[in-house]
């Protein structure tokens, strides 16, 4: 999902030894076609 200069991604990550599934949200701030900042939020289940 993109709104203005921000893009949010919802990811399901598998294959990690510590946890079989990790759900992650990544928020990217983009400026002049370059990623300027990234925020990562995850929940291990």
Query: What pLDDT, in 10s, does the model give residues 4-34?
Result: 999 999 988 888 787 788 889 999 999 999 9
Buried b (16+ CB within 10 A) or exposed e, 33-43: eeeeeeeeeee
- Residue 14's domain comprises 2-44
Top pLDDT among 13 and 45 is at 13
Q: How far apart are CA 23 and CA 14, in angstroms?
A: 9
Residue 45 pLDDT exceeds 70: no
More confident residue, 37 or 17: 37
Confidence of residue 44 (pLDDT cuts 50, 70, 90): low
Q: How much is the pTM?
A: 0.71
Domain count, the chain: 1
Does the pLDDT at position 43 exceed 90? no
Distance from first CA to last CA of the chain, Å, rounded?
24
Q: Which of 6, 4, 45, 44 has its CA nearest to residue 26?
A: 6
């Amino acid at each position: 999902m993109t709104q203005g200069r921000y893009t949010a991604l919802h990811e399901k990550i598998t294959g990690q030894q510590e946890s079989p599934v990790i759900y992650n949200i990544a928020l990217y701030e983009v400026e002049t076609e370059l990623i300027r900042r990234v925020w990562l939020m995850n929940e291990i289940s």
